[in-house]
Chain A
Amino acid sequence: MSTTLFLILCLNGLQYGMLLFLIAAGLTLVFGVMGFINLAHGVQYMVGAYLAFAYVQLTGSFMLAVILSLVTALILGLLLEYFIFRHLYNRDHLDQVLATFGIIIFLNELAKVIFGPATLSIAPPEFLSGSIQLTETLRYPIYRFVTIIAGLVVALGLYLTISFTRIGMLIRAGATSAEMVSALGVNIQRLFMIVFGVGAMLAGFAGVIAAPIFAIEPGMGDNILIVAFVVIITGGIGSIGGAFFAALLVGLIDTLGRSLATEILSTIFNPSFANQIGPALASMLIYILMAAILVFRPKGLLPAKGVS
C-alpha cells in the first residue's frame, strides 16, 4: 500500500462523505423539525442527476444546467410538500412510509420510461475537467476537488444559517417543540415548507454534482438513501453538525474499507479466506459502525439539543 494510493482513497472518501452530507442534511432537518420520515428523499437525489443530464442536453452548458436543476428540484420539492407531504405530518409513521414508498415507485419508473433503463453519464464541465498535481506522484481530478469544496461551503452555509439567523432559530425551536412555536404566532406551515424545499434542493444538488462521477440510473437514490439513514443515526437525528461528521466518517470508512479490507485481512488469515470474506466485511463496515454507536451512544455522536 503506497501513501499515494492511500491519499487518493482518503480524498475519494471525503468526496463521498460530502455527497452523503448533502443528502443527509435535508433528511435530518425534515426529520428533526417535522418528525417526518421521507423515504422519497433518495429519489430526489436521482431526480437531481436526471435533471442535470436533461438540462445539459438541452442547454449544452453545465453551469446553466446546475442552476436550472436546482430551481426545478426546489419547485418539485415544494409541489410534493404542498400536494402530498403536508397532509402526512400528523399521520402515523406507517402512512408516511407508504406514501413516500409510492412516490419512489412512481419516480423510479418514470425515470425508466423517459430516459430508459440504461445508465447515462455526463461529462464534467470543460474548465473543471483536468486534474491537478498534488505531490510528485499524485494527481487528482479537479472536479472531485470542487465537489468537496461545494460540500464544505454548503455545510458552512447551513451552520451559519441555523446558528445565527432568525429562520435558523425558528428551525431549532421547531425541532424542540413545533406546537409551541406555532402557538407563539409563527407560521409553522410555511417554516415546514421552507425546510422541506431546502432539503429537496440539497438532495437534488447532491444528484447534480454526482452526475458526472457516478452512473445515472433509475433507482440510484435507493441505496444512497439507506446510507444517509446510517449517517443520521450515527450523527444524531436532527443534528446538522452530527450529520456532517458522521457523513465524513461513513464516507471514509466505506471507501477505505472497500479497498483495504481484503488486504488487511490477508495479513492475518490466508489469502483465499481473506478474498472470500473481505468484500462482505467491507460492505458491512458502516452498519457495524452504526450498531456500535447505537450500543455506546444511542443518541448519536453529536445529538441535537432538545430533541427528545
Chain B
Amino acid sequence: MDRSLVTAAVLFGLLLAMPFLLPLIGSAYLSGLIIKAMLLAIAAISLDLLIGHGGMISLGHAAFVGVGAYATAIALENGVDDIFLLLLITLAVTGLTALVSGGLALRTSGLYFLMITLAFGQMIYFTLTSLAAYGGDDGLTLWSLATVFGSNVLQSGNGLYYLVLGTLFATWWGVYRISRSRFGRVLRAARDNPERAEVMGYPVVRFRLIAYLIAAMIAGVSGLLLVQHAEFVSPALATWQRSGDLIVVIVLGGLATRNGAILGAFFIVIVEEVLGSFIHEWRLIYGPLLVLMVLFAKGGISHLLTPKGAKGYAS
C-alpha cells in the first residue's frame, strides 16, 4: 500500500481525535496552534497546485488569502452572516481578482511570472491598506461572525475546529483528485515542457489559468476561515513575506507530493513555536536554516518519510 496514504490516514486520524485528546493535556493554546497550522496547510496545498504541479512560481499567493479574508469581513460588516453566502461571495471575489491578475500574469512565464505575481500581490496589499472604511493599515476587528442556518456553532470550540479540519480534508482530497485527473497531467506536462504540451493540442495558458483560479479560490476560503478563527483581519495577511512563507512550507514539505503541504505547515508552525520559545530573535536562526536547506538538503520532509527510490507522483 502507498505509504503516503498511511501517513495521511495517521495525520487526519490524529487531527480528528485532537479535540478529545487536548482536554486531557489541558491546553486551549495548543488547539489554536493546530488550527493555525491547518489554515496554513489549506493555503499551502493550493499553492502546491500552482508551483508543484503547474510550475508557476507565484510570489503573490498570500494576497488571495487577504482578498478572501477581506471579502468575508466586509460582507460580515454589512450584515451578511450566512456561511454559505459568505463562501459564495469569497469565491466570487477571489475568483474575479485571480481572473484579472492571472490573465495578465500568464501572458508570461518563469521569472517574469514570479515578479508580476509579486507586484500584483503588493498592489492588492496596498489596496487593502487604503480601505479606510474597513480599518486601513490597522485592520478590522469583527463583532459578528459567520453562522450556519442561523446557529453560531461554527464560531468557536469544536465547531470551528471541525469546520477547519473538514475544509483541510476537502482541499487535500480535492487537489489530489485534480492532480490525478487528465487536467493535472496536462498541467504537469506543461510544467515540464510547455512547447510539447502546446504542440499536442493543449491550450497551455487556459489550463494554467484554470489552475490559477482554483488555487486562488482555495486560498480565499482559507482567508474566510482565518477571519472566523481570528475575528480580525489586517492587510498584513497579504504581504509578500506571507507568500514567501507559503513557498517555504511547500518546499519543506516536498513539492507535488500528497501530504507535503500539510507536513510542511505543521513543521513550520512547530519550528516557529520551538525556536521562538528559546529566543525572541528566532529569525536569526530560521533565515540561515533556509539557506542551508536549499544548499544542502533537497526534497522536503515527505521524502524523508518515503523510502528511497519510491517517488511521489511528481514526475
Contacts and interface: CB of A to CB of B under 8 A. Distances in A.
Interface of A: 31, 35, 37, 39, 84, 87-88, 91, 93-95, 97-99, 101-110, 112-113, 222-223, 226, 229-230, 232-233, 237, 276, 279-280, 283-284, 287, 290-291, 294-295, 298
B70 to A, nearest CB: 13
Given A97-B57, A226-B122, A295 B290 contact: no
A280 B115 CA distance: 21
Contacts of A298: 107-108
A222 B242 CA distance: 13
A270 to B, nearest CB: 16
Nearest to B251: A98
A222 B248 contact: no
Given A84-B291, A94-B57, A105 B119 contact: no
Given A97-B59, A283-B127, A284-B126, A226 B119 contact: yes
Contact of B119 (A103, A110, A287): A287
B19 interface: no
Nearest to B131: A280
Contacts of A108: 283
Contacts of A35: 111
B167 to A, nearest CB: 27
Interface residues of B, number: 44
A284 B127 contact: yes
A105 B52 CA distance: 24
A106 B295 contact: no
A223 B122 CA distance: 8
Given A98-B294, A109-B283, A237-B112, A283 B126 contact: yes
Contacts of B294: 88, 91, 95, 98-99, 102
| Chain A contact residues, majority secondary structure | helix
A280 B123 CA distance: 9
Contacts of A279: 130, 132
Contact of B287 (A31, A109, A290, A291): A109
Contact of B288 (A95, A102, A223): A102
A110 B284 contact: yes
Contact of A294 (B108, B248, B298): B108
Contacts of A226: 118-119, 122, 240
A260 to B, nearest CB: 16
Contact of B295 (A99, A104, A233, A287): A99
Given A98-B294, A106-B288, 8 more contacts: A39-B244, A99-B290, A101-B290, A106-B286, A107-B287, A294-B107, A294-B116, A295-B104
B14 to A, nearest CB: 28
Nearest to A104: B287
A301 to B, nearest CB: 15
B133 interface: yes
Contacts of B298: 95
Contacts of B104: 291, 294-295
Closest 8 CB pairs of A and B: A106-B287, A102-B290, A105-B287, A109-B283, A283-B126, A280-B130, A287-B123, A102-B291
Given A98-B247, A287-B119, A105 B110 contact: no
A88 B298 CA distance: 13
Given A101-B248, A222-B241, A226-B119, A295 B107 contact: yes
B168 to A, nearest CB: 24
B114 interface: yes
Contacts of B248: 98, 101
Nearest to A233: B115
Interface in B126-174: 126-127, 129-133
A106 B286 CA distance: 7
A112 B282 CA distance: 12
Contact of A94 (B126, B127, B129, B251): B251
A88 B115 CA distance: 18
A107 to B, nearest CB: 8
A84 to B, nearest CB: 6
Contacts of A294: 104, 107-108, 116
Contacts of A237: 111-112
B281 interface: yes
Nearest to B255: A94
Among B120, B290, B294, the one with the most A-chain Cβ atoms within 10 Å of its Cβ is: B294
B122 A280 contact: no
B295 A87 contact: yes
A93 B114 contact: yes
Nearest to B285: A106
B301 interface: no
B42 interface: no
Contacts of B293: 98
B88 interface: no
Interface in B33-67: 51, 57, 59
Contacts of B241: 222
Given A84-B295, A109-B283, A101 B247 contact: yes
A223 B248 CA distance: 20
